[in-house]
Amino acid sequence: MTYQSPYSPPPPAQAVAAYYDPLATLSAPARQSSNLLFVLGILALFLALGAGLFSMINTNSLPPEQKTVLEDFESKTHQSFQVMMRSASVMTLVIGAALIGLGIFVRRGKRPAIVAALLLTGLLVLLLALNILGSFSVGSGPSVVLSLCMLAIPAILLVWLIRQLVAALRNAGAMADYQQQQYAAQWWQYQQQYAAQWAQYQEQLYHSQLQQQQHPQSALQPPPPPPPGNTPT
């Protein structure tokens, strides 16, 4: 007795070699983007900590040369050095936490998280570009060169991050389709196993009923008598 499953199998996935994992290839840009987001987020947290520590410095205890530089800076910006450092610390802390949080969802290939990470990264690139232009407008000197080098490192990382995020955004749809195919294949396999078990049970029940119909007296025969030695007195 054969049983034919009423469920049609899902469309076969793309034929690939046994050692090739399409999902790993499709998710590679998302994983790289996530790693960069984690690195930039941790770097931002350290910068926030440093800015918070700088805000606690007592400018009156600084040497006259540094104190003069700070006073000149405050006169140009019309803001206190401590207030600026506290504001920078809070803003950098929020950015670092956002980068790390987005990195968690970007690694999973979530399209909204990838788009949000692209927007935040583009905003950070714009801020760095404005800071670099501001460094050129200040003048020239060793401090300006050092500032440009410090800004160039995160700028390079952010540009590389944008490239990886764009690739991850292109692969997001293919990743979702491949995962749906995997889920459909697993569900179809489960249905096949359930149908096979049910068919086996039905076959066993059919054979049991058939045997009862062929030998109807076997179920009505009395049990055999006990041995003579066990006959009660």
Q: Which residues contact 117 (CB under 8 A, 6 or more apart)?
A: 33, 37, 99, 102, 103, 106, 161, 165
Q: Kindly indicate the confidence band of residue 191, based on its pLDDT and cuts at 50, 70 and 90.
A: confident
- Please compute the mean of the pLDDT values over residues 25-54 and round it to a whole number: 88
Q: pTM of the full predicted structure?
A: 0.61
Residue 18, judged by CB atoms within 10 A of its CB (0-12, 13-18, 19+), counts as exposed
Q: What is the DSSP string of 177-200?
A: HHHHHHHHHHHHHHHHHHHHHHHH
**Per-residue pLDDT reduced to its tens digit, 138-167:** 555 565 666 677 778 888 889 999 999 998
Render pLDDT for 55-79 as a digit per residue (tens, 0 to 9).
777 767 767 776 776 677 667 667 7
Query: What does the alpha-carbon distance between residue 28 and residue 167 come to, in Å, rounded to a whole number?
Result: 9
**Helices 142-214 and 28-54, interaxial angle, to 10°?**
140
